[in-house]
Structure 1
Protein backbone atom coordinates (compact mmCIF):
# COMPACT_ATOMS: atom_id res chain seq x y z
CA UNK A 1 0.00 0.00 0.00
CA UNK A 2 2.88 2.43 0.70
CA UNK A 3 4.33 2.09 -2.80
CA UNK A 4 0.96 2.97 -4.36
CA UNK A 5 1.01 6.26 -2.48
CA UNK A 6 4.47 7.09 -3.84
CA UNK A 7 3.44 6.10 -7.36
CA UNK A 8 0.38 8.36 -7.08
CA UNK A 9 2.59 11.30 -6.08
CA UNK A 10 4.93 10.60 -8.98
CA UNK A 11 1.95 10.58 -11.36
CA UNK A 12 1.09 14.17 -10.38
CA UNK A 13 4.44 15.52 -11.61
CA UNK A 14 4.44 16.64 -15.26
CA UNK A 15 6.53 14.55 -17.66
CA UNK A 16 8.38 17.66 -18.85
CA UNK A 17 11.45 16.12 -17.22
CA UNK A 18 12.35 12.67 -15.93
CA UNK A 19 10.81 11.60 -12.64
CA UNK A 20 12.48 8.75 -10.76
CA UNK A 21 10.83 6.79 -7.99
CA UNK A 22 13.31 6.06 -5.16
CA UNK A 23 16.39 5.33 -7.32
CA UNK A 24 18.42 7.36 -9.81
CA UNK A 25 20.48 5.69 -12.54
CA UNK A 26 24.26 6.07 -12.53
CA UNK A 27 24.21 8.56 -15.42
CA UNK A 28 20.93 10.49 -15.18
CA UNK A 29 19.65 13.03 -17.69
CA UNK A 30 19.28 16.55 -16.32
CA UNK A 31 17.02 17.97 -15.06
CA UNK A 32 15.17 15.34 -13.06
CA UNK A 33 13.13 14.71 -9.91
CA UNK A 34 13.44 11.91 -7.40
CA UNK A 35 10.34 11.01 -5.39
CA UNK A 36 11.27 9.22 -2.19
CA UNK A 37 10.65 9.38 1.54
CA UNK A 38 10.06 7.47 4.72
CA UNK A 39 8.34 4.07 5.04
CA UNK A 40 5.35 5.73 6.62
CA UNK A 41 3.26 4.91 9.60
CA UNK A 42 -0.06 3.15 9.93
CA UNK A 43 -2.26 4.61 12.64
CA UNK A 44 -5.86 4.73 13.77
CA UNK A 45 -8.22 7.45 14.81
CA UNK A 46 -11.02 5.00 15.54
CA UNK A 47 -12.09 3.46 18.82
CA UNK A 48 -11.08 -0.05 17.77
CA UNK A 49 -7.43 1.09 17.39
CA UNK A 50 -7.01 -0.92 14.18
CA UNK A 51 -4.51 1.00 12.01
CA UNK A 52 -6.32 1.97 8.80
CA UNK A 53 -4.78 5.37 8.16
CA UNK A 54 -1.41 6.14 6.57
CA UNK A 55 0.98 9.01 7.21
CA UNK A 56 3.98 9.47 4.90
CA UNK A 57 6.61 12.16 4.57
CA UNK A 58 7.13 12.20 0.82
CA UNK A 59 10.23 13.97 -0.45
CA UNK A 60 10.92 15.40 -3.87
CA UNK A 61 14.53 16.10 -4.77
CA UNK A 62 14.69 18.49 -7.73
CA UNK A 63 17.98 18.36 -9.63
CA UNK A 64 19.31 20.52 -12.43
CA UNK A 65 22.62 20.89 -14.21
CA UNK A 66 22.71 24.47 -12.86
CA UNK A 67 20.79 26.77 -10.51
CA UNK A 68 18.42 28.03 -13.19
CA UNK A 69 17.31 24.56 -14.28
CA UNK A 70 16.95 23.40 -10.68
CA UNK A 71 14.65 26.35 -9.94
CA UNK A 72 12.54 25.59 -13.02
CA UNK A 73 12.06 22.00 -11.84
CA UNK A 74 11.40 23.12 -8.27
CA UNK A 75 8.68 25.55 -9.39
CA UNK A 76 7.02 22.90 -11.55
CA UNK A 77 7.10 20.24 -8.84
CA UNK A 78 5.71 22.60 -6.21
CA UNK A 79 2.89 23.62 -8.56
CA UNK A 80 2.12 19.93 -9.21
CA UNK A 81 2.24 18.71 -5.60
CA UNK A 82 1.54 21.48 -3.10
CA UNK A 83 -2.09 21.46 -1.92
CA UNK A 84 -2.83 18.51 -4.24
CA UNK A 85 -4.27 15.12 -3.32
CA UNK A 86 -2.86 12.10 -5.18
CA UNK A 87 -5.32 9.42 -6.27
CA UNK A 88 -4.85 6.04 -4.60
CA UNK A 89 -7.46 3.32 -5.25
CA UNK A 90 -9.69 2.71 -2.25
CA UNK A 91 -8.22 5.60 -0.27
CA UNK A 92 -9.16 9.16 0.57
CA UNK A 93 -5.89 11.08 0.28
CA UNK A 94 -5.76 14.53 1.83
CA UNK A 95 -4.07 17.50 0.18
CA UNK A 96 -0.31 17.49 0.69
CA UNK A 97 1.45 20.52 2.15
CA UNK A 98 4.95 21.50 1.02
CA UNK A 99 7.83 22.28 3.39
CA UNK A 100 11.41 22.92 2.24
CA UNK A 101 13.99 20.49 3.62
CA UNK A 102 17.09 21.98 2.02
CA UNK A 103 18.06 25.09 0.18
CA UNK A 104 19.16 25.11 -3.43
CA UNK A 105 22.76 23.91 -3.35
CA UNK A 106 25.40 22.22 -5.49
CA UNK A 107 26.06 18.51 -5.12
CA UNK A 108 29.82 18.63 -4.64
CA UNK A 109 30.04 14.82 -4.74
CA UNK A 110 29.15 14.83 -8.46
CA UNK A 111 31.04 16.55 -11.29
CA UNK A 112 29.38 16.85 -14.68
CA UNK A 113 31.75 15.44 -17.33
CA UNK A 114 31.31 18.04 -20.11
CA UNK A 115 31.43 21.16 -17.95
CA UNK A 116 33.35 20.25 -14.79
CA UNK A 117 30.54 21.88 -12.79
CA UNK A 118 28.34 20.36 -10.12
CA UNK A 119 24.62 19.65 -10.45
CA UNK A 120 22.33 21.66 -8.18
CA UNK A 121 19.52 20.26 -6.04
CA UNK A 122 16.81 21.19 -3.56
CA UNK A 123 14.59 18.95 -1.44
CA UNK A 124 10.97 19.57 -0.44
CA UNK A 125 8.86 17.42 1.86
CA UNK A 126 5.12 16.84 1.54
CA UNK A 127 3.05 15.37 4.34
CA UNK A 128 0.66 12.79 2.92
CA UNK A 129 -2.24 11.39 4.93
CA UNK A 130 -4.75 8.85 3.68
CA UNK A 131 -7.58 6.78 5.04
CA UNK A 132 -9.86 4.08 3.64
CA UNK A 133 -12.89 5.26 1.66
Structure 2
Protein backbone atom coordinates (compact mmCIF):
# COMPACT_ATOMS: atom_id res chain seq x y z
CA UNK A 1 0.00 0.00 0.00
CA UNK A 2 1.25 3.47 -0.87
CA UNK A 3 0.79 5.63 2.25
CA UNK A 4 -1.21 8.81 1.82
CA UNK A 5 -0.54 11.75 4.11
CA UNK A 6 -3.98 12.92 5.17
CA UNK A 7 -2.32 15.95 6.80
CA UNK A 8 -1.26 17.18 3.35
CA UNK A 9 -4.87 16.87 2.17
CA UNK A 10 -6.14 18.80 5.20
CA UNK A 11 -3.50 21.48 4.57
CA UNK A 12 -4.70 21.71 0.96
CA UNK A 13 -8.27 22.26 2.16
CA UNK A 14 -7.09 24.85 4.71
CA UNK A 15 -5.42 26.78 1.90
CA UNK A 16 -8.69 26.83 -0.04
CA UNK A 17 -10.47 28.29 3.01
CA UNK A 18 -8.10 31.25 3.53
CA UNK A 19 -10.30 33.70 1.56
CA UNK A 20 -13.22 33.00 3.93
CA UNK A 21 -11.22 34.62 6.75
CA UNK A 22 -12.12 32.16 9.51
CA UNK A 23 -9.76 30.25 11.81
CA UNK A 24 -9.60 26.63 10.62
CA UNK A 25 -8.99 23.75 13.03
CA UNK A 26 -8.65 20.01 12.51
CA UNK A 27 -10.42 17.74 15.04
CA UNK A 28 -9.55 19.89 18.09
CA UNK A 29 -10.37 23.49 18.89
CA UNK A 30 -8.41 25.57 21.43
CA UNK A 31 -10.21 26.43 24.65
CA UNK A 32 -10.09 30.14 23.81
CA UNK A 33 -11.47 29.77 20.30
CA UNK A 34 -12.31 32.77 18.15
CA UNK A 35 -15.84 32.62 16.74
CA UNK A 36 -16.88 31.94 14.07
CA UNK A 37 -14.47 29.19 13.06
CA UNK A 38 -14.29 26.13 10.83
CA UNK A 39 -13.63 22.63 12.13
CA UNK A 40 -12.41 20.01 9.65
CA UNK A 41 -12.61 16.30 10.41
CA UNK A 42 -12.01 13.06 8.58
CA UNK A 43 -10.54 9.61 8.97
CA UNK A 44 -6.82 9.11 8.58
CA UNK A 45 -7.44 8.26 4.92
CA UNK A 46 -9.67 5.50 3.56
CA UNK A 47 -7.76 3.86 0.72
CA UNK A 48 -9.08 1.81 -2.16
CA UNK A 49 -8.03 0.32 -5.48
CA UNK A 50 -9.82 -0.13 -8.79
CA UNK A 51 -9.28 -3.88 -8.87
CA UNK A 52 -9.12 -6.40 -6.07
CA UNK A 53 -5.44 -7.23 -6.62
CA UNK A 54 -4.25 -3.63 -7.23
CA UNK A 55 -2.32 -1.63 -4.66
CA UNK A 56 -4.37 0.62 -2.43
CA UNK A 57 -3.32 4.02 -3.74
CA UNK A 58 -6.59 5.92 -4.27
CA UNK A 59 -8.05 7.93 -1.40
CA UNK A 60 -11.85 7.98 -1.28
CA UNK A 61 -13.05 9.51 1.96
CA UNK A 62 -15.48 11.91 3.58
CA UNK A 63 -14.40 15.32 4.82
CA UNK A 64 -16.59 16.98 7.43
CA UNK A 65 -16.62 20.77 7.45
CA UNK A 66 -18.27 22.20 10.54
CA UNK A 67 -19.02 25.91 10.72
CA UNK A 68 -19.32 27.11 14.33
CA UNK A 69 -20.65 30.47 15.47
CA UNK A 70 -22.27 32.24 18.38
CA UNK A 71 -25.57 32.51 16.50
CA UNK A 72 -27.31 30.45 13.84
CA UNK A 73 -27.01 33.38 11.41
CA UNK A 74 -23.22 33.32 11.86
CA UNK A 75 -23.19 29.62 10.94
CA UNK A 76 -25.29 30.23 7.84
CA UNK A 77 -23.08 33.16 6.81
CA UNK A 78 -19.95 31.05 7.24
CA UNK A 79 -21.41 28.21 5.18
CA UNK A 80 -22.38 30.67 2.45
CA UNK A 81 -18.70 31.71 2.23
CA UNK A 82 -17.21 28.23 2.62
CA UNK A 83 -19.29 26.25 0.13
CA UNK A 84 -18.18 28.10 -3.02
CA UNK A 85 -14.54 27.75 -1.94
CA UNK A 86 -14.75 23.96 -1.49
CA UNK A 87 -17.46 22.74 -3.87
CA UNK A 88 -15.88 21.03 -6.87
CA UNK A 89 -12.48 22.35 -5.74
CA UNK A 90 -9.06 20.79 -6.20
CA UNK A 91 -6.89 21.14 -3.09
CA UNK A 92 -3.17 21.19 -3.88
CA UNK A 93 -1.39 18.10 -2.55
CA UNK A 94 2.08 17.31 -3.93
CA UNK A 95 2.08 14.20 -6.13
CA UNK A 96 -1.71 13.82 -6.01
CA UNK A 97 -4.71 14.87 -8.05
CA UNK A 98 -7.41 15.80 -5.53
CA UNK A 99 -11.07 16.74 -5.88
CA UNK A 100 -13.76 17.77 -3.42
CA UNK A 101 -17.47 17.36 -4.04
CA UNK A 102 -20.19 18.67 -1.73
CA UNK A 103 -22.82 15.99 -1.13
CA UNK A 104 -24.71 16.56 2.12
CA UNK A 105 -25.53 18.98 4.90
CA UNK A 106 -26.88 18.52 8.39
CA UNK A 107 -29.19 20.85 10.26
CA UNK A 108 -27.81 23.81 12.19
CA UNK A 109 -27.82 22.85 15.85
CA UNK A 110 -27.03 24.18 19.31
CA UNK A 111 -23.94 22.65 20.96
CA UNK A 112 -25.31 22.08 24.45
CA UNK A 113 -22.04 20.39 25.50
CA UNK A 114 -20.33 23.80 25.45
CA UNK A 115 -21.37 26.82 27.50
CA UNK A 116 -19.46 30.02 26.89
CA UNK A 117 -18.93 31.97 30.12
CA UNK A 118 -19.63 35.28 28.45
CA UNK A 119 -22.41 35.80 27.40
CA UNK A 120 -23.47 32.45 28.97
CA UNK A 121 -24.74 30.84 25.78
CA UNK A 122 -24.15 27.77 23.65
CA UNK A 123 -22.44 28.01 20.26
CA UNK A 124 -24.27 26.85 17.15
CA UNK A 125 -22.89 24.63 14.38
CA UNK A 126 -23.70 23.32 10.94
CA UNK A 127 -22.01 20.42 9.19
CA UNK A 128 -21.38 20.04 5.46
CA UNK A 129 -20.01 16.79 4.08
CA UNK A 130 -17.70 16.52 1.10
CA UNK A 131 -16.38 13.54 -0.81
CA UNK A 132 -12.62 13.81 -1.09
CA UNK A 133 -10.98 11.79 -3.85
CA UNK A 134 -7.25 11.67 -4.36
CA UNK A 135 -5.26 9.66 -6.87
CA UNK A 136 -1.58 9.67 -7.80
CA UNK A 137 -0.83 12.51 -10.22
- TM-score of the alignment, normalized to the shorter chain, above 0.5: yes
Contact kept? 1:14, 1:80, Cα under 8 Å: no
Contact 1:92 1:131 in 2 (8 A): yes
Runs of 4+ in 1 over 6 A off after TM superposition: none
Note the residue ranges of structure 2 that are not aligned, 5 or more in a row: none
| Cα pair distance change 1:47/1:110, threshold 3 Å | closer
Q: What is the rounded CA distance, in whole Å, between the counterparts of 1:126 and 1:2 in structure 2?
A: 15
Q: Is the 8 A contact 1:87 1:93 kept in 2?
A: yes
Shift of residue 100 of structure 1? 3.1
Match of 2:40 among 15, 35, 44: 35
Aligned with residue 64 of structure 2, among 59, 79, 85: 59
1:1-133, aligned counterparts within 5 Å? 1-14=5-18, 16-45=21-50, 49-94=54-99, 96-133=100-137
User: C-alpha root-mean-square deviation of aligned residues, in Å?
Assistant: 1.6
Count of matched residue positions in the alignment of Structure 1 and Structure 2: 132
Q: Rate the CA distance shift 1:49–1:10 in 2: closer, same or farther, 3 A.
A: same
Which residues of structure 1 form unaligned runs of 5+? none
